[in-house]
Amino acid sequence: MIFYHASNIEGLKKILPLSKSKNKAEKDKVAYFTPVRLYALFYLRDMDVNHVTIRAGDDNVPECHEFFPDQLRTMYQGRSGYLYTCKNNGNITIAQSAEIWSSKETVSVVNVEFIDNVYEHIMLEVAATNARIISYESLSDKTKQEYTINMKDFILEKNLLTINSAQSRFWAQYYPEAWRIAQAL
């Protein structure tokens, strides 16, 4: 089985287990992989912001849910990076779902693809019906309100009001209602 690993770093020959495991009981560092090229594209993002939700829909077609207007274009237009292809020699195991796998061991790179504009590649997948975008504009008012409350909670939990960082500036700009509510508390 072929796996993809996305990175903003050029020239990798091996993928090292440097990430904290999402499994809280797991103490070892891991490297993450996916057998789905589209999922890997979504990981070519600004690591300071790191806020995209993609999951399999009821028909197993990946869906990206936008949390603000034109989120995908905002986050991926003009972004570039590398998709590394690796073969599973038994050291890559399922981590969270059929789309997210990990390895505690170093994994050799078989091939690399430079992605010059991540947004264009995502939209090609959408055009080929390999993915769907659930646009912010298509959401009900109730869902938008729920998102605002969740975003307000995140702003408070991460103390974004008290720091000046790329992440806090991003949240203030793209979640202005949630930011305003958090400031008022």
Question: pLDDT (tens digit, 0 to 9) for every residue of the chain, 185 residues total?
Answer: 899 999 999 999 999 999 887 766 677 899 999 998 998 999 898 877 767 778 888 888 889 999 999 999 999 999 999 999 998 888 898 887 778 899 999 999 999 999 999 999 999 999 998 899 999 999 999 999 999 999 999 999 999 999 999 999 999 999 999 999 999 99
pLDDT of res. 159: 95
What is this structure's pTM?
A: 0.86
In Å, how far are 121, 125, 144, 146, 171 from 141, measured between CA atoms?
30, 28, 5, 9, 20
Domains of the chain with CATH codes: 2-138 (3.20.170), 141-180 (no CATH)
pLDDT of res. 24: 66
pLDDT of res. 164: 93
